[in-house]
Amino acid sequence: MGPLYPQEIINSEFNILIGFFIGIGFGWLLEASGFTNTRKLAGVFYGYDATVIKVFFTAAMTSAIGLFIIHHLGWIDIELTFYPKTFWIPTLVGGAIMGLGFIVGGFCPGTSLCAASTGKIDGIVFIIGVFLGIFGFIFTYDLVFESLRKSGNMGRTDIAQWLGIKDGIFIFIMVIVTLVSFYVFQKWQNSHTKNMNESDLNDLGLDKPE
């Protein structure tokens, strides 16, 4: 997985096997965390549940810090880690579309698959919508989306490079931003859940704020 396969530390079969078990573990964690509940996922946009923000920020910062450390220890070459070129205009458009879908449908593609695997009808309907969107994009790409897809090309870059600062400084800034966001969103959540009844709180896996 990751840079291990390009550096021939593991073979392709073991690479796929690791990915398979990571996928199973990821799906189990999503279900165990309540991320197949549309109310819990959409709650971040309505202010009554900050779990999504906490999980995603924690995952991102854990990965960033981990990669930064093991790169400087010489265990991996971060330059061999694949990430695509940056096209900032379609990235913003795609992010807005996905965010709207998140608010309306209460799922992202991964959580919808987990929900569908547990037999939830809304998850199945969401997956159908995802595939309709995929095929719609494919069959209209040349006519509608090709120019948008190629706009805003910044090459292979990241935010730290774009800002002209070192990776370590950027990660430190993001750790501070993460901690502050946890505090702000928790306060926001408490203000929205203080009047919620016990059954709604239990359904969302939340405690009554003090």
Query: Taking every pair of C-alpha atoms in the chain, what is the biggest distance, in angstroms?
Result: 56
Which tokens sit at 40?
């819990």
Say if 97 falls within a structural domain. yes
Report yes or no on 135 lying in a domain: yes
Q: Would residue 119 count as lying in a domain?
A: yes
Look at residue 110 and tell me if it is in a domain: yes
Strand boundaries in the chain, DSSP class E: 86-87, 153-155
pLDDT in tens, the chain (210 residues): 556 766 677 777 888 888 889 888 888 888 887 788 887 788 888 777 888 888 888 988 998 999 889 888 888 777 777 778 889 899 999 889 888 888 888 888 888 888 888 888 988 998 998 899 899 999 999 888 888 888 988 888 888 888 889 888 999 999 999 999 888 888 888 887 777 666 766 666 666 666
At residue 30, the 3 state secondary structure works out as helix
Q: How many domains does the chain have?
A: 1
Would residue 207 count as lying in a domain? Answer: no
166 residue type, one letter? K
Is residue 118 included in any domain, yes or no?
Answer: yes
Whether residue 88 is contained in a domain is answered as yes
Q: DSSP string of 38-90?
A: HHHHHHHHHTS--HHHHHHHHHHHHHHHHHHHHHHTTSS-GGGS--PPEEHHH
- The C-alpha atoms of residue 75 and residue 168 are separated, in whole angstroms, by 17
Range of the domain at 105: 84-157
